Amino acid sequence: MLSMNPEFTIVAKGDSMQDVGIEQGDVLKIVYDECAHDGDIVLASIDGETTIKAYCEDDDGSPWLVPQNSNYEAFPLGGCNCRIVGRVREIIKSVPHVSYRDCMRMINKVKLRKVCAPEISQAQISKTIREIAPMIVLARQWYAVYRAMADLNIVGEGDYDTFIELVKTEVPSHKNLPTRVELQRMALQSFAKPVALWRIGNAPVQGKRFNDYLKIANRTKDLLLERLEILS
């Protein structure tokens, strides 16, 4: 059966409705309807020009079109050649485009780390472990440090024993020293992959705990590469 209110689509232009999530390039599904109620987002035709605005009637019953951006002003419909064409039923977001330059900046950052990793000195590794230690409140959180070091080829994949000895040498009195069992139990799902591939929906910990692990791992990498970035 044919709908009594057929639909069509238009592409949004401008930023006058950005506060309700309508942005340049979004596709708007419009349903034909000349009757609007307060708060409806409508497609209106004014002297042959179309616009998307919110519809509202004031205390006197006079109709207005109201933009959703404080940089624009509402305007009354009285006294102009205006009609309501339809109501916005759905917003189909435009697909964002990431610039090549931004992508290459991230790619080159990873490449730089891979190239520079063998140049990380033992002194820098020792300094990193000592500085990161206060962030560790559970023995298993050392896994984030191990994973960051494995990403930079400082320790081998699965070489927990070497990592444990590094930690014990630098912070022997730490209350929560790593153990092989605690490290192995965290090498699950996305945590078994490089830190850049960790995903909160596919990790052995969730929520704040996931963010804590990610923060420790990223801080470890930053500390390890700190001097290299200064030199470069």
Structure confidence at residue 115 (pLDDT): 53
Q: What is the per-residue pLDDT for 47?
A: 82
How many other CB atoms are found less than 10 A from the CB of residue 200? 13
pTM above threshold 0.85:
no
Torsion angle of C-alpha atoms 153, 163, 125, 202, degrees rounded to 10: 60
Q: Which tokens hold the place of 202?
A: 């596919």
Q: For 58-154, where are the E strands, in sequence order?
A: 63-66, 75-76, 82-92
Question: Residue 134 — very low, low, confident or very high, per pLDDT cuts 50/70/90?
Answer: very high
Per-residue pLDDT at 1:
37
Average pLDDT, the chain: 88
The residue-averaged pLDDT of 140-149 equals: 97
In percent, the amount of the chain with pLDDT more than 90 equals 60
Residue predicted with more confidence, 155 or 48: 155
Counting Cα atoms < 13 Å in the Cβ hemisphere of 13 gives 4
Reported as a single tens digit per residue, the pLDDT across 24-61 is: 889 999 999 888 899 999 999 888 889 999 999 998 88
Going by pLDDT thresholds of 50, 70 and 90, the confidence category of residue 110 is low
The predicted structure's pLDDT at residue 230: 45
How far apart are alpha carbons 136 and 157 in whole angstroms? 21
Q: Rounded CA gap, 151 and 133, in Å?
A: 19
Q: In this structure, what is the dihedral angle of CA atoms 197, 201, 207, 208, given to the nearest 10 degrees?
A: -10
Q: How many CB atoms lie within 10 A of CB 18?
A: 15
Q: Please determine, for residue 80, whether its predicted confidence score (pLDDT) is greater than 60.
A: yes
Mean pLDDT over 175-181 rounds to: 96
pLDDT: which is higher, 97 or 44: 44
